[in-house]
Structure 1
Amino acid sequence: MLKINRENLRTSHQLSWIMIDFLMLGLLIINLALIVWDSVYSFVAIQNVLQERLPALQAAYHPIHENFIFYDFLFVAVFLSEFFLRWGYAIKAGVYDRWYFYPFIHWYDLVGCIPVGSLRFLRILRVISIISRLQQYKIIDITDTRIYRFFNFYYEAFMEELSDRIVAKVLSGVQHEITLGSPLFEKIQNDILYPRRDMLSGWISQRVAEAAKEGYVPNRGALRNYLEERVDLALQQNVELSRLKYLPVVGTTIRETLEDAVGDIVANVIQQILEDLSSSANHEFIEDIVNAFIRGPDGPESTDTRNEALIALIIEIIEAIKGQVRVKRWREQLP
């Protein structure tokens, strides 16, 4: 239910204009109701039904129907008077840069005043403008009404569907242009990615360190045991190493010693690599990779060879964005 904020109404500096808005709103509702009723009454069948069942009502309203343009013009005269009053105030207060801007900006107030057929129903635009103005002044709050939530939901759903299709179409066009080798790829590589190499290196370095800490440090012992078992199994299946056991006296000892040494070396190397990745020491390593991946404007790949890996990366990023765009948020609000 629509409620009026009486506190804001009482303290408003636009009280006189707000009262005029309420008066115009009431007249517009009455006028639109009469227009609808007169449109219905214009059918001969309705007139015959009223003449049979409510002859007094039909006899009282029929003269109004025959002279409806005159009665409608009375409403139009009031609406135009209010329009010129606001126009004069806008000129005096310097609301717009030019005195003749007002009728162009408030065209909807004029169009509905044309007393011709279907144009009369455009006065609903004037109702919407008044309600919007009262909402702006926080005199009323239509956002809490059921009818507003109903229309706003389908409006947002329509706009989301429309914008999603447009965005997906544009992104598909961008992917196609990048695949064909348009200047867009060079702009992305040279003007966007290359100047931000340091930022990308720092971000990737931090993400790699966090991933290594979360995945490796808690499972260090299990990972070492797994590596040693894999190395032992690989060495046992090695034909050349298995021949060492045929050496007299020391063959088996040498074979076991090599298996332990190789397993320990591999485990220590992997462990050191993961420890380096989980610390700030990985920054230079990541920076070298980024520099090799993103060539500068004068780099060798910018003249003859296209960086296919970077193209694939950009296309995958755009595809991920398209996938996110296809998510229908409005459906999540359905009961």
Structure 2
Amino acid sequence: MLHVNRENLKSSHQLIWFLIDFLMLGLLIINLSFIIWDSIYNFVAVQNLLKDYAPALQSAYHPIHERFIFYDLIFVAIFLSEFVLRWGYSIRAKVYDRWYFYPFIHWYDLVGCIPVGSLRFLRILRVISIIYRLHQYKIIDFTNTRLFRFVNFYYEAFMEELSDRIVLKVLSGVQEEVRRGSPLFERIQQDILYPRREMLSDWISERVAVAANEGYVPNRGALRAYLENRVDQALKQNLELSRLKYLPVVGPTIQDTLENAVGDIVANVIHQILEDLASTSNHAFIEDIVNVFLPEPGQQQEEAENEALINLILEVVDAIKDQVRVKHWRENLP
């Protein structure tokens, strides 16, 4: 149901204009109904049908049909009078920068007033403009109506399907360009990625540091215990090391000492690596990796490196295409 917000209507400083809008809306609905009915009545078969089953209605309406243009011009005169009234108000209130802007901006109000054939049905544009204006000022809210939800749902579905097809077509074209080794690949590498090597290094370095801090530091003890346990199990499964326990007197001691030492060394090395990654000292390491993937323009890259980078770009585009193919509008189907 379409509800009118009476509080906003009363508190509005344009109450008179909104009342005129409601009046024009009612006249437009009556006029469009009259046009539709007269168009139907214009068929001889309909006239004959009314003569047979409703002769009183046919005899009463037929004179109106013959003077249809006259009655339609009465509505047109009312609509044009309201248009001129609003134009005069816009000039007085200086709504637009020039006095002659109003008819160009509100062209749809004028086109519908042309009493010629199918142009009469363009008065529906005026109905839409009035409803939109009332909705904009929160006098009415048509977004809660079933008709709006129905039309909006299929409009969104149509637009999503259309935009998805366009995006997929464009992305497929990009993939073809990359596969053929067109200048696009060189531009991506040299004109886009290479000038931003420092920014990429800083960003990757920062993300690695944050990931190491959030993932490693809180779980340092658990990770150390896990590493020592895994090293201890690996050493016990080592045949050469297990033979040490057979040495008289000192064999078991040497074995335990060696296991503890190896476990401690591995844990400390892993600990130091993650500590370095979690600090700003990882920047040089990350920068070296970025420089390997993005060498200076002019340096000859190996074919395998180019192929790897091409495959990376293609896989990224494929991932984007897979996401584009997801039909979100289907999730809202009842």
Common fold: TM-score over 0.5 = yes
- Distance verdict in 2 for CA 1:110–1:230, change over 3 Å: farther
Alignment of 1:173-322 (within 5 A): 173-212=173-212, 213-214=214-215, 217=220, 218-230=222-234, 233=237, 235-236=238-239, 260=259, 265-266=265-266, 268-296=268-296, 298=297, 300-301=299-300, 307-322=306-321
Where in structure 2 are there 5+ consecutive unaligned residues?
none
User: Which residue number corresponds to residue 331 of structure 2?
Assistant: 332
State, as a whole percentage, how many aligned pairs show the same letter: 68
- Distance verdict in 2 for CA 1:220–1:43, change over 3 Å: farther
Cα shift at 1:99: 4.5
Aligned 8 A contact 2:227 2:266 in 1:
no
Deviations 1:82-124 (A, max 9, x none): 2333334444544445554433333322222222332222211
Cα shift at 1:63: 0.9
Aligned 8 A contact 1:227 1:267 in 2:
no
SS in 1 for 2:4: coil
User: Which residue number corresponds to residue 16 of structure 1?
Assistant: 16
User: Which residue number corresponds to residue 103 of structure 2?
Assistant: 103
Distance 1:227 1:254 in 2: 17
Cα shift at 1:195: 4.1
- In the superposition, the TM-score normalised over structure 2's length comes to 0.81
1:326 partner letter: R
Name the stretch that deviates more: 167-176 or 179-188: 179-188
Distance 1:312 1:11 in 2: 63
Distance 2:84 2:225 in 1: 85
SS in 2 for 1:134: helix
Name the stretch that deviates more: 99-108 or 287-296: 99-108
Cα shift at 1:79: 1.7
Distance 2:91 2:51 in 1: 52
User: Which residue number corresponds to residue 148 of structure 2?
Assistant: 148
User: Which residue number corresponds to residue 46 of structure 2?
Assistant: 46
1:36 partner letter: I
Aligned 8 A contact 1:301 1:307 in 2:
no
Cα shift at 1:28: 0.5
User: Which residue number corresponds to residue 60 of structure 1?
Assistant: 60
- Distance verdict in 2 for CA 1:227–1:176, change over 3 Å: farther
Aligned 8 A contact 1:2 1:141 in 2:
yes
Deviations 1:127-174 (A, max 9, x none): 111111111122111112121111111111111111121122222222
The reply on whether 1:114 has 2:114 as its aligned counterpart is yes
1:321 partner letter: I
Distance 2:247 2:9 in 1: 107
- Distance verdict in 2 for CA 1:94–1:172, change over 3 Å: farther
Distance 1:22 1:109 in 2: 15
- In the superposition, the TM-score normalised over structure 1's length comes to 0.81
SS in 2 for 1:2: coil
Deviations 1:62-94 (A, max 9, x none): 111122122112112222222333334444544
Aligned 8 A contact 2:227 2:263 in 1:
no
- Distance verdict in 2 for CA 1:20–1:332, change over 3 Å: same
1:332 partner letter: E
Aligned 8 A contact 1:231 1:263 in 2:
no
User: Which residue number corresponds to residue 76 of structure 1?
Assistant: 76
Distance 2:179 2:254 in 1: 55
Cα shift at 1:14: 2.6
Distance 1:161 1:170 in 2: 14
Cα shift at 1:271: 4.4
Q: CA RMSD in A?
A: 3.6
SS in 2 for 1:13: coil
Aligned 8 A contact 1:228 1:264 in 2:
no
Alignment length, in residue pairs?
Answer: 328
Cα shift at 1:176: 2.5
SS in 2 for 1:300: coil
Name the stretch that deviates more: 42-51 or 123-132: 42-51
The reply on whether 1:125 has 2:129 as its aligned counterpart is no
